[in-house]
Structure 1
Amino acid sequence: MEAPLDPVSAETVSISADQRSRPYLRLFLISFVLLFAELACIRWFGSTVILLTYFTNIVLMACVLGMSVGCLAASRGRNWINAVLPLGLVAIGLACWTLQAYERGEMSIAAGDQSAPQEIFFGAESVQQAPLGRTYPIEVVAGLFYALIALMFVGLGQVMGRAFNAIPNRVAAYTTNVFGSLVGIAAFALAAALQTPPRVWFALALVPLLGFVTRFRPIQVVALVAILFLVGWLPPARNGAARQVTWSPYYKVVFQPSTAVIETNNIGHQQMASIGNSGAAYLLPHLLNRDAGGRPFEDVLIIGAGSGNDVQAALSQHAKHVDAVEIDPVMASIGRANHPNRPYDDPRVSLHLDDGRSYVRKTSKKYDLIVYALVDSLVLHSGYSSLRLENFLFTEQAYRDIQARLKPGGVFVMYNYFRQGWVVGRLVKMVEKAFHMPPIVISLPYRAKITPDQNQAGATTMLIVGKTEAATAAIREKLAESGAFWIHVSPAKNAALNGYGAKAPEVEGTMKEHWWKIAPSVVETRGIGPLPSDDWPFLYLRSSMIPGLNLWGIVIVAVLSLAILARFAPPATTRPNGRMFFLGAGFMLLETKGVVHLALLFGSTWIVNSIVFFAILVMVLLSNLFVVLVRPRRICWYYGLLIASLVIGAFLPMDSFLALPGASKVILSCAVTFVPIFFAGVIFATEFRDSRHPDVDFGSNIGGVILGGLSENLSLVVGFKHLLLLAAVYYLLSAAFKRRAEPPAS
C-alpha cells in the first residue's frame, strides 16, 4: 500500500506551528549557505591556486563530497559544523601561501609535460619552472585542496542532513532545499553582475554560518575575520608594480597600469599596445592586403576584442565600422579606460558583450574582415564540464558560420600562440573544409614547415583565407612573386613603403633584425588527430582519450573520497542507498549535457549559465509539484520515459538545432534538455517521499554526483551527446537496486 504523501505520526502531532516552521527555515538557510559557499569556492580557489582554473570541477566535487559525507554523518554525535570556519581558514590560508610562493618564484605548478602534451593548457608553459624553488604536479596540488575543501563542507552537509530528518514531509523538505538553492544561485548571479569582490561572497556565505554553530568560541570569529581578510588579499607583483584587481563574472582580472599588462587568474593574458609604434601582428593582415593592392577592409568584426588592440589596428587602416565582440565586460572596460589609442571611444566602434559564436549566428551583417583575435579564455566554461569558454569557436561548424558572414570579397583571419603543430594542422584542415580552399599560414618567427610534433612555443601562427579564391588571390600572388613580405617591429616604418620583396627593406634608422620575414608555411596535416566538432569541441586535446593527467586526478579523487567517507561515515554503519547514489550520478550527467548544449545554442556566457542552472532547479520544483498532485504509485513508467528521452537526445546531432528559427530553437532545445530532468526529478521525489532515512538517502544521492563528475571525463572520448547513454546506464542501475524506502507509520 502506498504511503500517504504527508504522513502524520505521534511525534509530529504535538509540534506547534512555530516549532514546525523552524526546521523549514533552518533547511532553507543551510541550503542557501551551501550553494552560495560552493559557488564562492569554485570562483575563488580556481582564481587563486595556479592552474586550478582548468580544474574547477575538482572544487565542485570537493564541495559535493563534503555535503554527501556530512549528510551521511548526520546521525553521529559530533557536531562538525564547529570545524567549518577553522578548516576553511586552513584551506584559504594555504591557497594564499601558494600564490605568494608563486609570485616570489619559490614554487611552481606543472600541468603535465607541456613541451609535448596530450592536452594543452594555455599559460602552463610559463609557470612550470620555479626559478628559486620546486615545481609540484597540478594533480597533487588539486588533490590537497580537494581534501581540504571537502572537509570544510562536511559540517555544512551534516546540518543539512539533520534538517532533512526534522521534517516528516520529505517532498516538502526537498522542495525547501531546492528553494534555498535557487535563492543561492540568484544571489551569486547578482553578485557576479555587480562585480563584487570575494569578501562580499564569503561574508554572505559564512556570516549566517555562525547561527548554526553549536559551541560558540572566539576562534569562530577569529577564523571568519581572517578568511574575509585573506580572500581579498593579493601578494606583491614580482616586478613590484602597482596592480588593480577586479572580479569579472569569469576571472580575477589584475591590471598593471605601468606595463599595460592584464592577467587573468594569475596568468598573463593581454598587453595593450600603442598600435603603429608597436603591435606588428595586429596590423599584418591589413598591410598584406594594402600592399597587394587591396582596398581597406571597411566593415570589420573582431571576435575576442579584449582591451582593443585589434580594434585600433582596423581603425588605423581606415575601417568604416568595427563590431568588437568581447565576452568579459571587465576586459572591455579596462581597454576603454586605459588603452593608449582609446579605440572604444571612436564612434566607428560598436562594442558587443557577448559570446563570439553566439554573436556570429545572431547577426545578419556581412563583413569585409572577420578576426579571431588571440581567443584563449584560460578558464573553464563551468565546473560541470571540461569545456573552455572558447571551445565552440574552434569547430568545423563554427568556421562554416564565419564563412556565411563574410561578403563575397571578405577575408577571415585568426592568430594565436597555438603551442603545438598538431593544433595548427587541425585548424588548417577545418578552415579548408569550411572555405573549400587551404588558408595562407604564416608563422612568426618564420618557419618553412610546420609538422604535427613540432613545438610551437613562442611562435605566433596566423591563418588567412577568403570567402572566395579571389578574395586572397592578390596576397597569394604577391607572396609567390616576391618570396616574402617584411614588417618592422615598429609598424610605422611600413607606412610609406610596400613590404613585399625578396629582401628586407633598407630604411634609414632601422636594423635588419628588426624586420620580420613573412612567408607562407607548409603545414603537414597527417597525424593531427580528430577534428573538433560541436559534439567533441576539444581543439587542445591531441586525441579522443582521457589524458594521463586526468586519469591521475580521477584516481586521487577516488582514493581521497573513500578515505574521507571511511573516516566520517563508514559504509558498514551508514549503509548508503545504491538507488539514490546512481540517481545522483545520472543527474550530474544530465546537468553537464544541458549546460553544454545550451551554451552552444545561446552562448557560453555567465548569464546563460546562471539561467540554465536556475531552470534546472525550477524543473525539479515542477517535478516535486507533480509528485504532490499526481501521487505516482509505480515509477517504472517514469523510468521508461526517462530512458527513452535520453536515447533520443543521444542521437540528435547537437548542431541540428542551430538552423531552427528563434522560437523553435528555444522550445525544442529546452525540451531535449529539461524533459529528462523532469522525469528524473519525479523518480527521485517519489523515492524520497517515502524515505525513512532522508539524511542517508540524500547524502547517497549527492555522493553519486561525484561519480557523475568523474564520468564526465568520458566526453573527451565519446563527445557530449553520448554522455546521455551513460546517464541512461546509471538510471538503469538505480532501477536495479531494490527500494529501501518504507512508508512511515501513519
Structure 2
Amino acid sequence: MNEAKTIRPVYAGVFTIALAVLSLEIALTRIFSVALWYHLAFMVISTALLGFGASGAYLAVKRSVRPDNLALKLPRYAGLTALSVIVAFALMTRLPLDPLAPMLPGLSPAEQTWQTVLLVLMLLAEYVLVVVPFFFAGLTLGGAFSSLARRISTLYFADLIGGGTGCLVVVALLWVLPGQGVVFVAAGLAALAALFFSLSQHGGWRPITYLALGGAVVVFGLSPVADRLLPLHIPPSKPLYQAYTDPSIELVYTGYTPFARVDVMYKEGASLGAWGISARCPAPPSPEQMFITIDAAAITAITRFDGNPDTIAFVNCAPSGLAYQVSAAPPRSALIIGPGGGIDVLTALYNRVERVVGVEINPLIVDLVADASLFRQFAGGLYTDYPGIQIELAEGRNYVARSAERFDLIQFSQVDTWAAAASGAYSLSENFLYTVEAFLDYYDHLTDDGMLTVGRWYFDPPQQAFRLVTIGTAALERRGVTDPARHFMVVRAGDTATFIMKRTPFNADEIARLRQVVDRLGFSVLYAPDVTDGDNWFVQYFNASDRDAFFRAYPLDVSPTSDDRPFFFEYYGWSNLGDFRSGKATLVILLAQALLLAAAFILWPLWRFQRHGLTTRGAPQFLGYFAALGIGFILIEVGLMQRFILFLGHPVYSTSVVLFSILTFSGLGSYLSGRLLGEEDPRRLQVRVIPLLAVLTLGYVFVLPPLFQAFIGLDLTARVAIAVALLMPLGLLMGMPFPLGIRLVDRLNPGLVAWAWGVNGFCSVLGSILTVMIAQSYGFSIVIGLAVGVYLLGLAVVSTIGGRTGVGGQPSEASG
C-alpha cells in the first residue's frame, strides 16, 4: 500500500490526541478550581506530565510497538485514552474530597486526625485517577514516536500543532460548555484519534474503526448535558455547598466562562449586608440580597435596590465606606476594581460620587446585574440606569495601565473569600493587583488628594494589611515621597482589614474624622500617622533604619511583592513552611509526592528492566540532555505565561496565547529542523540552535517590559497579535532541540529513544513544581535565567558524545 496513505492517518491521529490532551488538561484545571481549590488545580500539570513520563517508561520496558504492528497498538491506546477519560472523571466526581475537612469547626482531635488520614487517601486516589488518561495518551504519542523515530520532526510537528490548537479550542468551548462538557469533548477527540490510527493499517474500515466513530459521536452528543450526567462534588468548605444541603436556599442561576463558574443563591429575606459591617450600625438593615459564588467559593452580593438611597445607608457602616468619610467632601470620581454584585458601587452612589467606573473581569457577573432577563430589576438597574455609573469589562490592573483618567478614589474590596484566603488557596497564584508596579499605576491615576483603599482579611500578626503598607511604601518612595508613614491608615473591622493610602499626607482633620467614624462603629485603628506606640508593628516598620533586618525579624514574609514575584498571598519562607495556609508547604508536599510517584512509575521500571541500556556509550550524556530539555522547556513556558498575564489582561488569555504560540511554533520548528538537517549529524544544528535560543530568551527578560508598556493601550485583538508575533521566533527555536536529540539518539543508540521520552517526562514533572518554588522566592526572571543555563548545560553534555553519523543516518563509527 502507498506509504503516504498509511502515514497520513498517523499524523491525523497524533494531532487529534494532542488536541484532546491539552483540552482535557485545561478543562481539569477549571473543574478542580470549582470542586476543590485553586492551589490543587495546579496539581493537574504535574500529574499530566507524570502520566506521559510513566508511559515512556512502559514503552521502554515493553518495547512492543514497531511499524509492523502500528495499527494494532495505536488504535487500542487511543481508544483506552477515550474510555479512561470518561471512567476516571466519573470516579473523580464521586470522591467526597474536601481539602479543608481537617480544619472544619467542631472536630475533636481524634476526628481531625481521621479526616487528615482520609484526606491523604482521597488525594492519592484523585492523583491516580488524573494520571490514568494521560498515561494512555502518552502511550499513544510515545508509541508513534518510538515506532517512527526517523519521522520525529514531522510527528513532533503534528503533536505540537495539535496541542497548540487545543489551547485555543478549549477557551472557545468553555464559553459554551461546562467543564464536564469539555472533558467529554476531549474523550470524543481521543476516540477520533483511534479512528485515524485504525485507518493506517489497510486504509479500510474495521470493527475498531466503527467502534471509535460511534464512541466519538456519543460523547460529543452528550457534552452539552455532561454537567447533569456527572455533577461535581462541592465540598462542605465551599459556600455553594449550602445550596445543595439547605432546602430553603434556591440555586437560581448557573453559568460558565473560561474564567469561572458562576452561581446565584437566593433565600427569601436573606441579607449579609457587607463584609465587616458594624454591629453598631444606626442605619436600617440591608435590604434582601442574592449571593453570587465564583467557582463555588468567592461571594459577592446583589442587593435589592429601589432607587431610594435611605435603604442602602448601611454601606457607610462597613469598612469599605471609610475612605468616603475621611475628607470633608466626598470624592467626585471613583474607580472600583472588581465591583461584583455592586456593593462598592452602591457605596459610591450613596456617598454622591458623580462619576463611578466599575471594572469587572467576568462578563457573566455584569450580565447578572445588568440583564433585564436576569436580575437587573432586583438590582434596581444599578449598572444600566444611572448615567454617572459606567461598567467596563476588563482586568483591573490592565484597565488602569491603559487609562488616561485620574480618580479621587480607587477601591477594591475582598475580591476573594475568607475561606480561600484562610486555606492558602491563593498562595500559589500570581496576583498583579498587589505589586509595587501596580501601586505605581494606582498612584499615577489618583488626583492630587486622591486615595487608594483596599479591603483585605485580617490575620494576627498582620500579614495582608501589612504587606499592602510595605508595597505602598515602596511605591511612594519611588515617586519621591520622603515620609511615607504619613500617607497610610489601616483599620480593623472584625475579620477584615481596610488599607487607605493617600497621594498626599493625611492632615490632622482627616485623621480625627476617621477616628470618629471608627469609634462610632466599634472598629479599631491598626495604624494612623498619629500612632506612636513602639510596640505597634507598623510603627516599628516605619522607624526601622534597616528594613531588610526588620523583614527578617518579622514572623512572616511581608516584604513588597513585584510583577516579577507577584505572590502576594504567600507569607512563609523555606525555613518556616507554616501551617496549611502556606503555599510553600503545599509545594513541598506536591514535590515530594511527584518525586516519589515519578521515580516509582518512570525511573524504577526503566532501571528494573532496561538498565543494560545505561551501560552503552553515551547513555548518561543523552539522558542528561533530555533531562535538561524537560526542565528548561517548562521553565521558559511557565515563565512566559506569567510575563504575558498583565499585557493580555487575564491568566486564561495568557495561558492560551502563550501555550498556543509556543506549541504551534515549536511544531513548526520541529518540522524545519528536519528539513534543515537532512542527513547531517544533528549536533551540527544543535550547536547553533541552543545558543541562539539562550540569547533570545535572555533578551526577552529585558525587552518585553518596555514593549508591553508601549502597546498595552491597544485593544485585546491587537495585543494578542503582538504576543503571538513576539513568541514566534522563540517558539521556532524551542521546537528544535528535542527532535534533533531524538534523531541523534536513534542514530547512535536506538534503544534509548523511549528512555529519552521517559526521562524528559520525569524532569518535566519536577520542573513544573520547581518553577513555582523558584519564582516564589526569587522571581520569574531568575526562572528564565535558570532555563537558559539548563539548556546550555544540556548542549555541553550532548557535545561530549563520541561517534559520528553518516549518510542515511547510520553510525559511521561504533558508538558503544
What TM-score, normalized to structure 1? 0.78
Query: What is the aligned residue count?
Result: 664
Structure 2 residue 74 is the aligned partner of structure 1 residue 42? no
Q: Tell me which residue corresponds to 1:430.
A: 471
Shift of 1:611: 1.6
Q: Tell me which residue corresponds to 2:42.
A: 57
Separation (CA, whole Å) in 2 of partners of 1:717 and 1:92: 35
Contact 1:358/1:603 (8 A) holds in 2: yes
Q: Secondary structure at the match of 1:270?
A: strand
Shift of 1:386: 7.2
Separation (CA, whole Å) in 1 of partners of 2:313 and 2:231: 34
Separation (CA, whole Å) in 2 of partners of 1:398 and 1:603: 13
1:434-449 mapped onto 2 (5 Å cutoff):
434-435=475-476, 436=484, 437-445=486-494
Contact 1:593/1:724 (8 A) holds in 2: yes
Structure 2 residue 37 is the aligned partner of structure 1 residue 28? no
Classify 1:536/1:281 alpha carbon distance in 2 versus 1 (closer, same or farther; 3 Å).
Answer: farther
Separation (CA, whole Å) in 2 of partners of 1:524 and 1:140: 41
Shift of 1:256: 0.8
Q: Tell me which residue corresponds to 1:534.
A: 563
Contact 2:775/2:783 (8 A) holds in 1: yes
Separation (CA, whole Å) in 2 of partners of 1:603 and 1:127: 42
Which stretch shows the higher mean deviation, 89-98 or 149-158?
89-98
Shift of 1:324: 1.0
Q: Structure 2 unaligned runs (5+)? A: 66-72, 199-206, 235-242, 271-289, 477-483, 539-549, 578-583, 614-618, 811-816
Q: Tell me which residue corresponds to 2:517.
A: 485
Contact 1:620/1:678 (8 A) holds in 2: yes
Give the counterpart letter for 2:254 in structure 1: V
Structure 2 residue 560 is the aligned partner of structure 1 residue 524? no
**Could you list the per-position Cα deviations for residues 83-124 of structure 1 after superposition, in whole angstroms to 9, with x for gaps in the alignment?**
54665455434432345x75xxxx9445xx8xxxxxxxxxx9
Structure 2 residue 162 is the aligned partner of structure 1 residue 180? yes
Q: Tell me which residue corresponds to 1:150.
A: 131
Q: Tell me which residue corresponds to 1:95.
A: 92
Contact 2:602/2:759 (8 A) holds in 1: no
Which stretch shows the higher mean deviation, 83-92 or 331-340?
83-92
Residue number among 769, 777, 781 corresponding to 1:717 in the alignment: 777
Shift of 1:635: 1.7
Shift of 1:286: 8.3
Shift of 1:29: 1.7
Contact 2:394/2:649 (8 A) holds in 1: yes
Separation (CA, whole Å) in 2 of partners of 1:327 and 1:128: 41
Classify 1:532/1:334 alpha carbon distance in 2 versus 1 (closer, same or farther; 3 Å).
Answer: same
Contact 2:401/2:712 (8 A) holds in 1: no
Classify 1:292/1:59 alpha carbon distance in 2 versus 1 (closer, same or farther; 3 Å).
Answer: closer
**Could you list the per-position Cα deviations for residues 62-93 of structure 1 after superposition, in whole angstroms to 9, with x for gaps in the alignment?**
11221232244343478555654665455434
**Could you list the per-position Cα deviations for residues 586-629 of structure 1 after superposition, in whole angstroms to 9, with x for gaps in the alignment?**
00000011011111333234223322221212331342354245
Q: Secondary structure at the match of 2:383?
A: helix
Shift of 1:478: 2.5
Q: Tell me which residue corresponds to 1:369.
A: 409
Which stretch shows the higher mean deviation, 256-265 or 673-682?
673-682
Classify 1:18/1:671 alpha carbon distance in 2 versus 1 (closer, same or farther; 3 Å).
Answer: closer
State, as a whole percentage, how many aligned pairs show the same letter: 19
Separation (CA, whole Å) in 1 of partners of 2:320 and 2:10: 67
Contact 1:657/1:669 (8 A) holds in 2: no
Residue number among 9, 17, 36 corresponding to 2:4 in the alignment: 17
1:134-533 mapped onto 2 (5 Å cutoff):
135-136=115-116, 141-167=122-148, 168-192=150-174, 194-211=175-192, 212=194, 230-233=229-232, 237-240=244-247, 241-243=249-251, 244-258=253-267, 260-274=290-304, 277=311, 280=314, 288=322, 294-336=328-370, 337-338=374-375, 340-346=379-385, 347-376=387-416, 388=429, 391-420=431-460, 421-435=462-476, 436=484, 437-445=486-494, 459-469=495-505, 474-479=509-514, 483-485=515-517, 504=520, 515-517=521-523, 519=525, 521=527, 524-525=537-538, 526=550, 527=554, 528-529=556-557, 530-533=559-562
Classify 1:408/1:714 alpha carbon distance in 2 versus 1 (closer, same or farther; 3 Å).
Answer: same
Classify 1:646/1:353 alpha carbon distance in 2 versus 1 (closer, same or farther; 3 Å).
Answer: same
Contact 2:56/2:602 (8 A) holds in 1: no
Separation (CA, whole Å) in 1 of partners of 2:741 and 2:54: 20
Separation (CA, whole Å) in 1 of partners of 2:11 and 2:359: 46
Separation (CA, whole Å) in 1 of partners of 2:804 and 2:392: 53
Q: Structure 1 unaligned runs (5+)? A: 1-13, 114-123, 446-458, 487-501, 505-514
What TM-score, normalized to structure 2? 0.72
Contact 1:92/1:227 (8 A) holds in 2: no
Q: Secondary structure at the match of 2:353?
A: coil
Separation (CA, whole Å) in 1 of partners of 2:33 and 2:628: 28
Give the counterpart letter for 2:599 in structure 1: L
Shift of 1:555: 0.6
Classify 1:362/1:158 alpha carbon distance in 2 versus 1 (closer, same or farther; 3 Å).
Answer: same
Structure 2 residue 679 is the aligned partner of structure 1 residue 682? no
Classify 1:292/1:30 alpha carbon distance in 2 versus 1 (closer, same or farther; 3 Å).
Answer: closer
Separation (CA, whole Å) in 1 of partners of 2:597 and 2:316: 48
Shift of 1:57: 2.4
Classify 1:597/1:639 alpha carbon distance in 2 versus 1 (closer, same or farther; 3 Å).
Answer: same
Contact 2:406/2:447 (8 A) holds in 1: yes
Residue number among 704, 711, 730 corresponding to 2:763 in the alignment: 704
* Alignment RMSD: 4.1
Q: Secondary structure at the match of 2:340?
A: coil
1:60-71 mapped onto 2 (5 Å cutoff):
60-71=45-56
Q: Tell me which residue corresponds to 1:731.
A: 791
Give the counterpart letter for 2:245 in structure 1: R
Classify 1:344/1:125 alpha carbon distance in 2 versus 1 (closer, same or farther; 3 Å).
Answer: farther
Q: Secondary structure at the match of 1:175?
A: helix
1:601-640 mapped onto 2 (5 Å cutoff):
601-631=647-677, 633-640=684-691
Shift of 1:156: 1.5
Contact 2:456/2:465 (8 A) holds in 1: no
